Structure formats: C-alpha cells, structure tokens
Amino acid sequence: MRNELRNKYLSRPRYNRYLNATTNNKNRAKRLYNANIRLAQAMHPILTQLEVVLRNSLNLQLSSHFVDNDWIINQKNRFMRNPSLAHSHYFLRSSVIKTENKLNRRGIPITNGKIISDQTFGFWIALFLAHHYSLIGGQPIQIFINKPAVEDRASIYSKLDDIRKFRNRVNHCEPLCFNGNNIDCTETISIRAKLYDLISWIEPELVPFFESIDNVQSKVDNIMRI
C-alpha cells in the first residue's frame, strides 16, 4: 500500500505506533500491522463462542429460576422495572424493549429466542452487577458450577468486563500487540487465559472445542518474531 493511501485511510496516528515500535522500520511496521490484524482475527472465534456459551447458560439458569422460558419478555415489567434500577436507567428493560421495537418495525414476530439472541455481551454481564444480581437471587453465578471457592460475583464480573473491553478493541481494529511502545502481547494472552478459566468453570468438556478453534498462540509467536 502506498504511504499516501495508508495515511489517508488507516490514519497516520494509528500507523505511527507501529513505526515507533519498530524504530521506524517501514517493512517491519507493515508486517506488524498485518500481524496485529491476524491476531484480532484469531481472537474473534473464541470470543464469540464464549458469548454464545455465556448467553445460553444464563438463559437456561434464569428460565429455571423464573419457571418461565419467556422470562426475558415477561421480566421486563417485573424485576427489570424495580425502582432500585432507576440509577441505571433500567438498562436491561430498555435493551429488551429496543429489540422488541426493532422486531416490530421489521414485522418480525417477537419470540424469546429472538430477544435472547439480539442482546449484547454487555447485557449478559450486567446481570453480574450488584443491583441486578441481588434482584434475581444471585442466580447468574450458579452457571459457574466448577469455579474455585475464592471466585465471587465481583471477581467473575471483573473478568467478564475485561473480556468485553478487549472484545470491543478487537472489533474496532485497535492494536493488541503493544505495551506502551513495546511489542508485547501479554494482555492478549491474559485475556485468553481468563476466557479459558470461565469456560472451564461453566463446563470443562467445552475446553477441547475452544482449543480446536484457537490459533491465538501461533499469531502471538509470529508477532514476537517480527
């Protein structure tokens, strides 16, 4: 790619980080930029599958708790409307209503499955925030049946939120291979480890599946050789 195209469409400040990390070696900077894209690409499958597992696990848990497979629809006017949630602007309820409105505009019937699948990662991890968690009797943590005793609501939420923030960086094409101006993938490896911890605490037998779609380490190794 010509320099003028790179600076125009990728932006000079974005690319300068790669130049700084490679002591202004244009060939290395180009290789590093491309390798970062491939690292983000490698993270994407395990991040999305974690979201699927988390979402479906919480749906099953709350369906059982409320004895209602349509809990996400029916609870928008129950616990999601509790006055104690005013400070959070009724985030869960607003999210459900937003999806219902979208489906109505498209003429698509509203079903539990469609509402569940449309909610963001942020919606699901918000169930671990104290103001929601207490209203549903601490049910969310029950999906982590194999967690160590030292792990609690706050620590689980912290891990999930770290993954959420990292996922947003992946989706916005941000660099994953730096610590300051140094080439360093420590954060990526840490996020990957947290993801595997959470999956193993939900269901250890899922780990081989995640490993089968995971080539993150090879992409990290490639970056560290640049």
How confident is the prediction for the chain on average, in pLDDT? 95
What pLDDT does 146 receive? 98
pLDDT tens figures, 112-144: 999 999 999 999 999 999 999 999 999 999 999
Least confident of 121-125, 155-159, 178-182, 192-196: 178-182
Between CA 188 and CA 195, with CA 192 as vertex, the angle to 5 degrees is 140
Which region among 10-24, 61-75, 164-178 has the lowest average model confidence (pLDDT)?
10-24
The pLDDT value recorded for residue 34 is 95
120 vs 99, 126, 164, 205, CA distance in Å? 11, 10, 10, 25
Q: Of 52, 51, 55, 205, which is closest to residue 140 (Cα–Cα)?
A: 55
Side chain identity at residue 46, one-letter code: I
Task: Delimit the domains of the chain by residue range.
Answer: 3-73+120-224
Report the chain's terminal Cα–Cα distance, integer Å: 19
Q: What is the pLDDT of residue 3?
A: 72
Place of tokens 């993270």: 43
pLDDT at site 15: 85
What pLDDT digit, counting tens, does each position of 15-45 carry? Answer: 889 999 999 999 999 999 999 999 999 999 9
With a pLDDT cut of 70, the percent of the chain lying above it is 96
Give percent of the chain above pLDDT 90. 91
**pTM to 2 decimals?**
0.93
Can you tell me the mean pLDDT for 76-91? Answer: 97
Is 90 exceeded by the pLDDT of residue 173?
no
CB-based burial label for 6 (10 Å; 0-12, 13-18, 19+): middle
Average pLDDT over residues 151-160: 98
Task: Show the CA angle centred on residue 98, arms to residues 94 and 101, nearest 5°.
Answer: 135
- The residue among 36 and 13 whose pLDDT is bigger is 36
Query: Taking 70 as the threshold, does the pLDDT of residue 9 lie above it?
Result: no
Please say whether the beta carbons of 170 and 44 come within 8 A: yes
Written as one letter, the residue type at 212 is: S
Decide if pLDDT at 14 tops 90: no
